[in-house]
């Protein structure tokens, strides 16, 4: 690993979208760049591997985007989902930079396509990567290699040692050996800590053991912890994470998109005690799917079961796991190891409460329950058409909100308010500055791209100066 003992203008910690944008930008500006990716080559790219689009401001239709999406509407969307947990200056900078980013991305090999089927609501606001996030990463890695960025896999940045508000040294572990390359500046783009179960346990207790992590197992938050322990200013609620309901049969890590389940609005959801606990039809699914991870995390054993019948089978996107089916609710209870009597009573009470209405999965319809607690406000249909269908659900963690505070030049801010001289941050490790809570599809990639490019440019400028 002689690469790790060399001398570089810029060290980039991380190997996802933001890291690549930073590395490419810095290298194009003439800096020598070392990119250190914790994952092996096959799993390179962090959570960007699982992404598929990029939220982009645009004034007119493009080859793959419909209509227009102006700055103020974009900003309104962000303000609404974050409930104001955002930094308007940084947010508007990100939004304004997203438009020109498209051409930048394309000229580095990223390809786009019209929005995916089933995501038509995003065709106006989001540009979809042809082949998804891994295809984007492949393009960036190829561009970086062509430019002469030195890329090292299977290597973890363990310590970015600060002294007097500047990076003094960097410690990298690779293959059991510790190495200290000489670097003038550092860009940290090493992600959040959602794959660090011990860390999650600090806030969630033993429940964290039952969380499934939807993305990379390499997002351990090592660099984040390291910086926060050295008087870097934190940002974002450390206890919060983006959690959705995914199939409980998904692997512990890296299950990605195919484990998600969109069946909840057309089901009843019961907990381990075979009792319902929340209104499954509260609002349109795109507005509600992100609350279900938390809801299930608060149930005993962090497990829940969506139960419905044959009528619902074609109403939602297929998931990779087959439905658990049964000719009777009793059989379903047996297969799910739920109390038969209780589940029978839950379904009976629900069915009795369902009011007649005109069912439509496209709108907030008038199919609801009456006198049931909790109610089901929409899409409530009797569960009475065998085969009965069930899916087990667990919280699937997408990302965490805790990060390091940055300014508009991607400089890391210290607790005393000063900027670290030669330390920049991009991607999930600083996304909490802008997306302090909630979720906006494709916005993580926008933050990563915009701040990756800013961090790369600033790092190269600093190194040259």
Per CB under 8 A, 363 contacts other proteins: no
Q: How far is the CB of 389 from other proteins (least distance, A)?
A: 13
Per CB under 8 A, 281 contacts other proteins: no
Taking the CA of residue 374 as centre, how many other CA atoms within 13 Å lie in the half-sphere pointing to its CB? 14
Per CB under 8 A, 310 contacts other proteins: no
103 burial (CB, 10 Å; 0-12 / 13-18 / 19+) is: exposed
Among 251, 286, 300, 374, binds other proteins (CB under 8 A): 251
Stretch of residues binding other proteins (CB under 8 A), selected from 108-116, 152-160, 344-352, 403-411: 108-116
Q: How far is the CB of 319 from other proteins (least distance, A)?
A: 5
Among 30, 118, 286, 334, binds other proteins (CB under 8 A): 118
Stretch of residues binding other proteins (CB under 8 A), selected from 75-83, 110-118, 149-157, 416-424: 110-118
Per CB under 8 A, 396 contacts other proteins: no
Count of residues interacting with other proteins (CB under 8 A): 35
Among 1, 130, 166, 171, binds other proteins (CB under 8 A): 130
Site map (CB under 8 A) of other proteins, residues 16-45, x = contact: --------------------------xx--
**Contact 391/245 with Cβ under 8 angstroms?**
no
The H or E element containing residue 349 is: helix 340-353
Q: Please list the helix, strand and coil fractions of the chain in percent, rounded to the nearest 5, in that order.
A: 35, 25, 40
Tokens, residue 352: 């009795």
Among 38, 44, 52, 55, binds other proteins (CB under 8 A): 52
Round to whole Å and give the CA distance between 29 and 40. 27
Which sign does the torsion angle of CA 203, 206, 209, 211 carry?
negative
Round to whole Å and give the CA distance between 144 and 10. 14
Round to whole Å and give the CA distance between 285 and 290. 9
Where do the DSSP E strands lie in 294-360?
304-308, 324-326
Per CB under 8 A, 117 contacts other proteins: yes
Closest CA to 140 of 13, 9, 17, 40: 17
Per CB under 8 A, 286 contacts other proteins: no
Per CB under 8 A, 318 contacts other proteins: yes
Where along the sequence are the contacts to other proteins (CB under 8 A)?
42-43, 49-50, 52, 111, 113-114, 116-118, 128-135, 138, 142, 251, 254, 256-260, 313-314, 317-320, 322
């Amino acid at each position: 690993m002689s690469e790790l003992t060399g001398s570089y203008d810029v060290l980039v910690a991380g190997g996802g979208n933001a890291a690549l944008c930073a590395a490419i930008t810095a290298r194009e500006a003439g800096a020598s760049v070392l990119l250190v990716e914790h994952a092996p080559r096959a799993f390179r790219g962090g959570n960007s591997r699982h992404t598929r689009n990029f939220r982009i401001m645009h004034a007119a239709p493009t080859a793959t985007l419909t209509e227009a999406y102006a700055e103020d509407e974009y900003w309104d969307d962000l303000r609404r989902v974050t409930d104001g947990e955002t930094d308007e200056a940084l947010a508007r900078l990100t939004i304004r930079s997203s438009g020109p980013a498209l051409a930048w991305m394309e000229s580095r090999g990223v390809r786009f396509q019209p929005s995916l089927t089933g995501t038509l609501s995003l065709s106006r606001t989001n540009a979809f990567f042809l082949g998804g996030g891994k295809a984007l990463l492949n393009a960036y890695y190829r561009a970086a290699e062509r430019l002469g960025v030195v890329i090292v896999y299977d290597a973890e940045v363990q310590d970015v040692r600060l002294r007097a508000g500047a990076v003094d040294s960097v410690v990298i572990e690779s293959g059991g050996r510790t190495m200290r390359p000489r670097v003038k500046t550092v860009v940290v783009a090493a992600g959040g800590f959602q794959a660090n179960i011990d860390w999650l346990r600090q806030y969630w207790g033993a429940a964290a053991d039952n969380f499934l992590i939807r993305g990379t197992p390499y997002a351990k938050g090592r660099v984040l912890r390291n910086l926060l322990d050295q008087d870097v200013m934190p940002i974002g609620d450390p206890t919060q994470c983006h959690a959705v309901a995914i199939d409980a049969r998904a692997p512990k890590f890296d299950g990605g998109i195919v484990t998600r389940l969109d069946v909840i609005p057309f089901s009843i959801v019961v907990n381990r005690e075979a009792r319902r606990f929340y209104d499954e039809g509260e609002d349109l699914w795109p507005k509600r799917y992100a609350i279900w991870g938390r809801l299930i995390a608060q149930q005993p054993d962090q497990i829940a079961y969506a139960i419905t019948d044959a009528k619902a089978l074609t109403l939602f996107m297929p998931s990779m796991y087959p439905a658990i089916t049964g000719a009777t609710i009793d059989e379903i209870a047996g297969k799910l190891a739920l109390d038969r009597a209780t589940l029978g009573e839950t379904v009976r009470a629900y069915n009795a409460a369902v009011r007649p209405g005109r069912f439509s999965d496209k709108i907030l319809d008038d199919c609801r329950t009456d006198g049931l607690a909790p109610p089901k406000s929409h899409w409530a249909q009797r569960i009475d058409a065998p085969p009965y269908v069930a899916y087990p659900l667990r919280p699937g963690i997408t990302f965490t909100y805790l990060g390091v505070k940055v300014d508009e030049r991607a400089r890391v801010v210290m607790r005393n308010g000063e900027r670290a001289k030669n330390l920049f941050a991009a991607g999930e490790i600083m996304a909490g500055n802008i997306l302090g809570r909630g979720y906006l599809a494709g916005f993580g990639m926008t933050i990563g791209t915009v701040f990756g490019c800013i961090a790369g440019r600033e790092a190269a400028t600093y190194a040259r100066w």
